[in-house]
Amino acid sequence: MLFEMSRSADGFKWFKNSTAFLAKSAGSGHTQALLRVRYNATAATQLDSNGRIIAGSIFPEGSLIVKELIEQPGVLARYAILYKQKDHRYADAKGWVWGYINVDGTVAETAANKGEACSSCHSQSANIDYQLMNKYFP
């Protein structure tokens, strides 16, 4: 389900309003060299006019945030996904479901683990409801 929701960029807004590939930050826990991040219409309510996350945001139910993990231009490898649905059986204490899915649909890290491989890093200082893009791409 997360995979099907995340494949198409239709209706999404991009971080800093840009589809450009960004080089991963020094703090990244993700192996691919390049990335870009998009927000569905619900999540995009927490972006300012420059496409940055508004300080103090708590993302509403139905927010879907998709990070495209790219090996090199033209080679999309994986989606890292945050989906807010607090009643989902795989939701964590903040209501987020964590997905990590390769572009061929195989699962890199099952959502059933409730982000246990992800959330300690994403809880670091200056996160906004687990989001780290503002911190590393100011």
Q: Is residue 131 at the binding interface for ligand HEC, with CB under 6 A as the rule? A: yes
Q: Is residue 132 at the binding interface for ligand HEC, with CB under 6 A as the rule? A: yes
Q: Is residue 39 at the binding interface for ligand HEC, with CB under 6 A as the rule? A: no
The torsion angles phi and psi of 57, rounded to 5 degrees, stand at -60, 140
Give residue number: closest CB to ligand HEC: 29
Angle CA(67)–CA(137)–CA(83) in degrees, nearest 5? 30
Query: Rounded distance, CA 93 to CA 137, Å?
Result: 26
Q: In this complex, which beta carbon is closest to ligand HEC, that of residue 11 or of residue 116? A: 116
Q: Is residue 37 at the binding interface for ligand HEC, with CB under 6 A as the rule? A: yes
Pick the binder of ligand HEC from 98, 101, 114, 129 (CB under 6 A): 98
For residue 2, how many other CB atoms are within 10 A of its CB? 21
Cα→Cα distances 47→20, 29, 31, 65, 71, Å: 17, 23, 26, 12, 27
Letters for 17-36 (x = contact with ligand HEC by CB under 6 A, - = none) are -------xx-xxxx----x-
Angle CA(76)–CA(13)–CA(97) in degrees, nearest 5? 70
Q: Is residue 78 at the binding interface for ligand HEC, with CB under 6 A as the rule? A: no
Q: Is residue 13 at the binding interface for ligand HEC, with CB under 6 A as the rule? A: no
Q: Is residue 70 at the binding interface for ligand HEC, with CB under 6 A as the rule? A: no
* Residue 128 near residue 134 (C-beta atoms within 8 A): yes
Residues in contact with ligand HEC by CB under 6 A are 24-25, 27-30, 35, 37, 65, 67, 80-82, 98, 100, 109, 117-118, 121-122, 131-133, 136
